[in-house]
Structure formats: C-alpha cells, structure tokens
Amino acid sequence: MICRRILSQLNIVAQCRQNNLPLWQCPQLLFLFISFINIFSILFSYFIGQHYITDPLLVSLIVILIAFVLFILTIIITWSFERLIEVARLKTEFANIISHQLRSPLTNLKWLIELLISQKNHLLSSQAAEYLALLKENSQRMEDLISNLLLMIRLEQGEIALNKEKISLVNLIKKVLYENEFFAKANHVLIKFEPPNEELPFCITDPIQLKLVLDNLINNAICYASPSLTGKEGKVTVNLRKENNNFYISVTDNGVGIPKQDQKYIFQKFFRSANAKKYQTAGSGLGLYIAKLLLEKMGGQIGFISQEGQGSTFWLKLPIRY
C-alpha cells in the first residue's frame, strides 16, 4: 500500500495531469529538474575546476549561467504555485456560488411545494397534487445532486466539520429504514433490521453525516434488489452489532451484485459500475465516494463483498468511544 503510494507520487506525469497543468509548469517536475541541474552543476564545476583552473573567469561564467537558469526555473515554479493557489481559490469560490446562488432558489422551491402539498385538501385537485409531488421529487433530486457535489468538494478540501453527538445507532437505523420504507414498498423489496443482541453504548458521531452514509447504502441496496431487476423476491437486511471495539453495521441485499472487474473502482469518484448504468440511469457515482470520505473522517472504515447475480453486503465500522 505504502509502496503503491510512493510509486504514484513518483509518477509525475500523472500528477501533472491530475492538477491540470502542462508539464513545463508542473512543480513536481520542475523541482526534479532543478535537483538534477544542481547535481550536474556541482559535478561540472568540479570537472571544470580540475581541468581549467588556469582560467577562473570561465568557471565563474559557467556558475553565473547555471545560477541564471536556476533563477528562471524558480520563477516558473513560483508561477506554477500561484496558478495552483488560484485554481484552489476558484474552486472554493465556485463551491460558494453553487452553494448560495443555485441552492437558494431550489430550497425555496422545495419549501413552497411542501407548503402547497400540506394544504392540498383545501386548495388543490388530486391531479394538481400529483404534479406537485412530481415537482417535489425532481427538485429534491436536483438538490441532492448539488448537495453531493458540494459535500464532495468540501470534504476534499477538509472544510467539513463533524458535529458530534451521543446517539443511539439503533434509533438512527430505524429512522433511516422508516424513511426508506415507502421507497422499498414501491420497489417490492422487503427490509429487515437485525438489532444487536446486547445493549450497545451510545455512538459519538455526527448523526446527520452518518445518516447520509446509511441512507445511501440502504437506498442503493433497495434499488439493486428490486424484483424488476433480479426476477426474485427483493430482500435487504440491515445488521447492527458490536465487533471488538467497533460498532459494525452491514447492509445486505440479494440484488444484482457488482461485476468483479468493477469492484476495485467502486469507491472512486464518479464511478458507476456496468450494472449501475444498465439498471439505474439516474445517479452521479458520488454516493459511495462520499460515504468513504465521511467514514474516514469519522475514524471508521467502509467495505463490501459482492457477487454478481447474488447480491452485495456493504459494511461499515465505527470506533466505540466513551
């Protein structure tokens, strides 16, 4: 793992591409280049000194020339860093613009639709109520996508703080299951919760962010366990237990599973497996990536086992803290 990380650090071309910079502006390459020039200039000066000691002016000129080249390279490196800083600044600014200018009208829309729906008995025909429900669903989808993008940017920038509270995981899971009940019924999937055999301590974590992770896993499980995709009865089981010094939560479905060749990419950003694209056209490929970032921030772990055609089990571990 560490070797792979070191090797990836040495892959300068890939790093430059990742930062969206041309090679000649890539700080990693330029630093490497300067190091080589330094070594070369020392050896060269030594060589010149040995053989042309009778002409110190020439040695001085060569040293001045090398110093000048190094000076130019340092300027280019400084520019490169300035550009990287500018890119980071623009990214933050972009996130803030999306955050306010795009989300505000969407939130307003969502709340006004909620208000109208709550009054449907008095003001609206059943058809209008149905259209409103569709509007609400679509505005929610758009908001979820924007929220996911923002959350991803902020997590990557380390800008998300966890608001830790003492919570009961049993209650949190029940809440997520309750909220997904309608969706499960609509997909003809049976959800079962297996609570722990013993009483668990409170979990100290951010309930909103953990709920987001659980909601994502359970929602995915329901989607891919639907009988319309598998031709068999859809089942999702959520299990909670204590394992060593961790809370262990697993979400198991008997759905379509993940093709073996896609499994190593499943937590990558924007990745959607062949099955996901085949069965669910909607989706951004951000849910599991965000879940992983959040779990890591919480000091936990996330993983899965899956077999195509048989189903998947996604698990997460959170440390027990007192």
> Can you give the binding site for another protein, defined by CB under 8 A?
96, 99-100, 103-104, 106-108, 110-112, 114-115, 143, 146-147, 150, 154, 159-161, 208
- Whether the CB-CB separation of 241 and 248 falls below 8 Å is answered with yes
CA distance 151 to 142: 14
Residue 72 vs 115, nearer CB to another protein: 115
CA distance 38 to 44: 10
- Whether the CB-CB separation of 220 and 238 falls below 8 Å is answered with no
Least separation in angstroms between residue 153's CB and another protein is 11
Least separation in angstroms between residue 295's CB and another protein is 19
CA distance 295 to 175: 19
- Whether the CB-CB separation of 151 and 290 falls below 8 Å is answered with yes
What is the token pair recorded at 303?
């993983």
Least separation in angstroms between residue 136's CB and another protein is 10
Distance of CA 250 to the CA centre of its chain: 20
Residue 82 vs 159, nearer CB to another protein: 159
Residue 25 vs 99, nearer CB to another protein: 99
Residue 189 vs 298, nearer CB to another protein: 298
Task: Classify 316 as helix, strand or coil.
Answer: strand
Residue 257 DSSP code: -
Q: C-alpha distances in angstroms, 141 versus 116, 145, 211, 275? A: 19, 6, 17, 21
Residue 91 vs 277, nearer CB to another protein: 91
Least separation in angstroms between residue 165's CB and another protein is 14
Residue 39 vs 128, nearer CB to another protein: 128
Least separation in angstroms between residue 111's CB and another protein is 4
Least separation in angstroms between residue 217's CB and another protein is 19
Residue 20 vs 101, nearer CB to another protein: 101
Helix (H) or strand (E) holding 239: strand 234-243
Task: Classify 242 as helix, strand or coil.
Answer: strand
Residue 197 DSSP code: S
Q: C-alpha distances in angstroms, 243 versus 52, 78, 169? A: 74, 50, 14
Least separation in angstroms between residue 292's CB and another protein is 21
